Structure 1
Amino acid sequence: MTDVPDPRLATLTAPLDSSGTGKRELAATLFKPEVWWAERYQWLKDRGYELRPRYRPGWTPSWRGTKKQFYQCEDGHCFVDTNLADAVCVKYGKFVMLKKIWAAVHPYEAEIGQFLTSGSLATHPSNHCIPILEVLQDPEEEDRLILVMPLLKMFWDPFFDTVGEVVEFCRQLFEGLKFMHDNRVAHRDCSYLNIMMDAESMFIGGWHPVEHVKKRDFSGEVSYYTRTKRPPKYYFIDFGLSRRYDPSTPLSEPVEPVIRGGDKTVPEHQDRKCPPQNPFRADIYCVGNVIKQAILQGTRGVEFLVPLIDSMTAADPLMRPSADDVVDQFQTILQGLGSWTLRSRIIHTEDGAVVNAFLATAHWYRRIGHVLTRRPPLPVPPS
């Protein structure tokens, strides 16, 4: 079973009335799923993870007694996905994400996540699976686990500035997919929302985990560097639907009953009566489709990726390249790209002439700075 979203969440996201009084008071009450986290505040703190002020015992909303609206305050926000909560790792002062899972519903999530990020695999240079820092057994519910992971950001926010930044994103994604498949793990849900980035070095003072445009303390809008100046590392997250096979299993062999993840467009999943399908080929499609939807549609400058992405998203699963082939073909593409191309600006087709002129000027200013400081056009993060 899963938590049913509290209907009051929809109320909070609706337009405010003239006074906003009702919503101020509604936001001052924890939603039912939030109470689960609040009840574990001290237990988590004893284990080194401190939740945000909203979940502290005796919490008093910071907007109470002021003219502020709840949405103007840090503690007026909560995750829509109430299986998630952010916290601070007290020992290291780092922000982490906590995710509660049901072992009976997703019996392999913790196991596969730990397998991919432990031992020699943890430091493998091609590993782009979100690290599982710790697995906590809930003190009250035997079937409930809490995964502790780094706090990450959606990969498209902010959007890519240069061709080189897009190319590096693709490189990391492809090598990460190959790494999983080499270790006989099929992700089965490589969709738009399950690819994130460690952007800690990019953002000055961090970002709020719910309202990403705000600083952590809500003191203003976030400030950040480009990916070229502070390269992020990209990660696959959420192994709830994943499966792991014997190392000797050929990638073409496994078949699994169709489970529709975040990407509902996988061709072989369209027929609800379709027989079991190869999950590795579906992974190839999903990763290709992320790049097609998030980057290729509505932009100019990376058309050289189209043939590879078209092959990855082929309607016939047998016509898609393997992860090994994707990496090899991508390397061939990369070898043909010069520094001038990699430093070029990603252009949004919907932007008008005036906007493009402004963005081009700002881009050239940054570009000259990158050249003078000898920043590479392919922003590879430090290992």
Structure 2
Amino acid sequence: GRVICAQDRQHRQVAIKLMKIDSKEYRILRVLSKEPLLFSAESFGCVIPPIDFLEMGEHCFVVMPRWGDSATWPWFSTVREALDYMRSLLKGLCFLHERLIAHRDIKLSNILMNHIGRFEQIHKNPFRKQLRHEGRALYALLDFDCAVMFPRTSTPAERRLPGRESFIFGGNYSYDTAQGELDYDPFAYDVAALGQLFCENFQQLAPITHFLAPFIDRMMTRDIAKRYTAAQALLVFDDFCSRLSPWQLDTAPPPIDDRCDPENHETWARLPEDFVQQWSSHREPKLPLSTKVLRWICMQPLGYRVVQWARRICAVFTARPSLKAYGRSV
């Protein structure tokens, strides 16, 4: 709708997006345009950078490099290639969070690859396979329609958003607000959403790379205090990957299991018993009945409002600080 493709004077493929100058997305892109890491081939931050701004009154045409979508197609030839993809997304999320930018809409369609191909031909496209094999494939996050950026002077308590704002149509999601929570941490939400994307697309790799089971569970855990931050997840991921053998990295990864339920997957059941016992502290427990009931109520007509009303009453009596006004995002 608001994005068109073109070619600039240097014959580079670009995408041009129209947006309002007073929008949060515009302000975020202005900040990203000043980040040297997004223009570095050696230390690319895995976020699509804006390269020009054409302002016209209250609107602006933002020019960005044109990359290709459907970044997981064709499917990866080796586990190493799949892990490179996962690491790029962790790196991109870490880059944003370090600058207090919460993406809030992590999904496959918002992940691009540095190769453009016709949609109907991507499954058989040999150039993507060649880029991956040569280690030249790059992946990056984009689309800041729903993103929020907080001031450097803000406190963690001020970096929370109303629970109702977590529901974004067509986006990936976390279950952090599925029980009618009044507010939520958008940064922790991002990590859980990316963990869910990993679970849905890569949990079948766990029998080859065992660490993915505890790693993904810790990204998605319902105990948010124990959940990795983006920076922690990247460090742990790199540490785990450094311990993999060449045969593990060069093994062909199984295809996506379309039946995967992020909260009821059987990843651990396919792992050695000694490994399961060693990492049992990272294993996410089954969903409690009380949580299932709360979610069921919230999915009913008016159910979500009723649960939030009850939570507000409880919050008044407990004097929760999170009931203070929101709006510190910029």
Deviates more, 1:248-257 or 1:157-166: 248-257
Instruction: Name the CA shift for 1:160/1:254 in 2 (closer, same or farther; >3 Å).
Output: same
Give the direction of change, closer, same or farther, for the CA distance of 1:111–1:265 in structure 2 (3 Å limit): closer
Instruction: Determine if contact 1:100/1:146 at 8 Å carries over to the other structure.
Output: yes
Question: Is 2:177 the counterpart of 1:269?
Answer: yes
Out of 3, 11, 24, the residue aligned to residue 108 of structure 1 is 24
Match of 1:173 in 2: 89
The one of the two structures with greater contact order (alpha-carbon pairs below 8 A, sep at least 6) is: 2
335 and 136 in structure 1: CA distance in 2 versus 1, 3 angstrom threshold: same
Unaligned runs of at least 5 residues, structure 1: 1-81, 200-205, 215-220, 351-383
Q: Are 1:344 and 2:251 counterparts?
A: yes
2:189 aligned with 1:282, yes or no? yes
Q: Would you tell me which structure has more helix in proportion to its own residues?
A: 2
Q: How does 1:224-373 map to 2 (within 5 A)?
A: 224-226=127-129, 227-229=132-134, 231-249=136-154, 251=156, 254-257=159-162, 258-261=165-168, 262-263=170-171, 265-271=173-179, 273-296=180-203, 301-348=208-255
What is the CA RMSD across the aligned residues, in angstroms? 2.8
For residues 250 and 330 of structure 1, the distance between their equivalents in structure 2, rounded to whole angstroms, comes to 28
Cα distance in 2 for residues equivalent to 1:117 and 1:288: 28
User: Counterpart of 1:99 in 2: which secondary structure?
Assistant: strand
Amino acid at match of 2:160: V
Q: Residue 100 of structure 2 contacts residue 150 of structure 2 at CA under 8 Å; is this kept in 1?
A: yes
By how many angstroms is 1:242 displaced? 1.4
Q: Which residue of 2 aligns with 1:147?
A: 62
Question: Which runs of structure 2 are paired with 1:6-155 in the superposition (5 Å)?
Answer: 82-89=1-8, 91-103=9-21, 107-123=23-39, 125=43, 127-138=45-56, 142-154=57-69, 155=71
Q: 1:207 maps to what in 2?
A: 117
Corresponding residue number in structure 1 for 2:323: none
Task: Verify the 8 A CA contact 2:37 2:45 in the aligned structure 1.
Answer: yes
Distance 1:300 1:93, change over 3 A: farther
Give the Cα separation in 1 of the matches to 2:207 and 2:68.
24
Structure 2: segments with no counterpart, 5+ residues:
258-330
1:127, 1:179 within 8 Å by CA — same for their partners in 2?
A: yes
User: 1:342 offset after TM fit, Å?
Assistant: 0.9
Tell me by how many angstroms 1:281 deviates: 0.4
Pair 133,335 (structure 1): closer, same or farther in 2 beyond 3 Å: same
Change (3 A) 1:299 1:337: closer
CA pair 284-84 structure 1, distance change in 2 beyond 3 A = same
Whether the 8 Å contact between 1:188 and 1:283 is mirrored in structure 2 is yes
CA-to-partner distance for each residue in 1:250-291, whole Å, 9 max, x for gaps? Answer: 5565101223234354112324x5312111001101111121
SS at match of 2:161: coil
Give the equivalent residue in structure 1 for 2:107.
191
Identity of aligned residues (%): 23
Alpha carbons of structure 1 residues 97 and 302: separation in structure 2 relative to 1, 3 Å: farther
Q: Which amino acid aligns with 2:15?
A: M
Once residues 122 and 329 of structure 1 are traced to their aligned partners in structure 2, the CA distance between those partners, rounded to angstroms, is 23
Q: Is residue 296–residue 302 contact of structure 1 (8 Å, CA) maintained in 2?
A: no
1:89-126 per-position Cα deviation (integer Å, ceiling 9, x unaligned) = 2x12121112222445xx11122123123244434625
CA 1:275–1:163 in structure 2 vs 1: closer, same or farther (change >3 Å)? same
Q: How far apart are 1:298 and its partner, in Å? A: 8.5
Distance 2:192 2:67 in 1: 24
| Partner SS state of residue 268, structure 1 | coil
Superposition deviation, residue 302 in structure 1: 4.0
Contact 1:181–1:251 (Cα < 8 Å) also in 2: no
SS at match of 2:27: helix
Deviation at 1:229, TM superposition (A): 2.2
Q: How far apart are the structure 1 equivalents of 2:237 and 2:139?
A: 17
Distance 1:99 1:123, change over 3 A: closer
Does the aligned pair in 1 maintain the 2:107–2:172 contact within 8 Å? no
Cα pair distance change 1:298/1:337, threshold 3 Å: closer
SS across alignment from 1:213: helix
Q: Name the aligned partner's letter for residue 224 of structure 1.
A: F
Aligned counterparts of 1:320 and 1:238: Cα–Cα separation in 2: 25
